[in-house]
Amino acid sequence: MLWDPYWGSTYQGGSVCQASQSVSDLVEMHKAESTYHNSGSHYNLAFFQPICSVLTDCTQKCEVPVVSTYCSDTGETNENFYYHVGREKGESKVNIGPRGSEVSCESAAGCGFSRCLFSDCGFKVSVSISGKGAGASGEMAGGDLWNWAHATGRTCKNGR
């Protein structure tokens, strides 16, 4: 591979690799659940942005970053002494591979809710990803009341 300062790109086997990016539509996922509520619910909303890129070293990059995640508790609960406190978490797996091959990437995001005596209690949540590309699934841990994870994935080939 040779770097060409005139073109700002790399030659590989006689071809020029110029950086490019293909951004897909924003993926929106949401889930609501109403355990221990007279009205309203626990709510989780996540946005993901699938991106396939060709890099100047003639490799390709697959990523699905978590753009945002939102957890809320709305309405009236049927528990007199407890707050419903939510925590959110996101995780992404970015992969780089040779141009011409299939490169998969995945992300997951979610939230967990716990019953707490105070409005700001300490508990942790985590999210994990299994599967590859479009077969990605997410699992949320933490939150003794309710938790949920969304996952999405992508497979890129030649920056698309």
The one-letter amino acid at 9: S
Please say if the pLDDT value at position 12 is more than 60. no
pLDDT grade for 85, boundaries at 50, 70 and 90: very high
Q: What is the pLDDT of residues 14-68, one digit of tens each?
A: 566 788 888 989 999 999 999 899 999 999 999 999 999 999 888 999 999 999 9
Six-digit token string for 5: 């300062």
pLDDT over 70, % of the chain: 89
Please give the average per-residue pLDDT across 111-119, as a whole number. 92
Residue 127 pLDDT > 70: yes
Query: Alpha-carbon distance 15 to 97, whole Å?
Result: 17
pLDDT at position 158? 77
Tell which residue, 123, 155, 125, has the closest CA to residue 140.
125
Model-level pTM? 0.84
60, two tokens: 């390709």
Cα(158)–Cα(92) distance, integer angstroms: 21
